[in-house]
C-alpha cells in the first residue's frame, strides 16, 4: 500500500497543479487535489521510511481518502460544479475511492494472514 499511496499522492499533486494552470484560477480551492496529494505523498513516504509506523500511516491515509470522498461528494451535492471544478472533484473522488478499496482489501488480507499465523 505504500507504493499505491505515493502514486496516488503524486498523481493528485500533479493533477491539482495542472488544473490550476489550465483553468487560470486564482482561487486556492483549485489546489485542493494537490493538498490531498501532498498529504498522501507524505504519509506514503513516512510509511516507506519508517516501516514500524507504516500501519498507522496507511490508516491515516485511509481516513484522508474517506474525508476526500465525503467532502467532495458533499460539495457537489450542496453547490454543484462545472468545468474544471467538476473534473477536479470527480478525479479526487475517483482517486480516493480507488485508494479506499485497495486499502480495505489490504487491511483484510493482513488481518487474515495474522489470524492464520496465530491459529497454526
* Per-residue confidence (pLDDT) for residue 76, from 0 to 100: 87
Give 26-37 pLDDT, tens digit per residue.
Answer: 888 889 999 999
Q: Averaged over 58-71, what is the pLDDT?
A: 97
Alpha-carbon distance 88 to 53, whole Å?
Answer: 31
* Per-residue confidence (pLDDT) for residue 120, from 0 to 100: 66
For residue 76, give its domain range.
2-119
Identity of the highest mean pLDDT range in 21-25, 52-56, 79-83, 108-112: 52-56
The domain total for the chain is 1
Q: What share of the chain has pLDDT > 70, as a percent?
A: 99
For residue 91, the SS3 value is helix
Bin 117: left if φ > 0, else alpha if -120 < ψ < 50, else beta: alpha
Q: Averaged over 60-73, what is the pLDDT?
A: 97
Mean pLDDT of the chain: 93
User: Long-range contacts of range 47-52, CB-CB < 8 Å, 24 or more positions apart?
Assistant: 47/1, 47/2, 47/5, 48/2, 48/6
With vertex at residue 36, the alpha carbon angle to CA 33 and CA 38, rounded to the nearest 5 degrees, is 110
CB 100 within 8 A of CB 66: yes
Asked whether the predicted pLDDT for residue 56 surpasses 70, the reply is yes
Amino acid at each position: 500500500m505504500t507504493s499505491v499511496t505515493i502514486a496516488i499522492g503524486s498523481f493528485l499533486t500533479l493533477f491539482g497543479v495542472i488544473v490550476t494552470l489550465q483553468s487560470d484560477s486564482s482561487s486556492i480551492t483549485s489546489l485542493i487535489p494537490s493538498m490531498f496529494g501532498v498529504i498522501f505523498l507524505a504519509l506514503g513516504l513516512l510509511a516507506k521510511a519508517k516501516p514500524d509506523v507504516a500501519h498507522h500511516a496507511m490508516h491515516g491515509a485511509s481516513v484522508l481518502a474517506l474525508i476526500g470522498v465525503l467532502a467532495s461528494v458533499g460539495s457537489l451535492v450542496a453547490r454543484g460544479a462545472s468545468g474544471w471544478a467538476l473534473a477536479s472533484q470527480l478525479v479526487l473522488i475517483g482517486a480516493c475511492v480507488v485508494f479506499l478499496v485497495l486499502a480495505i482489501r489490504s487491511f483484510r488480507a493482513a488481518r487474515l494472514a495474522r489470524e492464520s499465523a496465530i491459529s497454526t
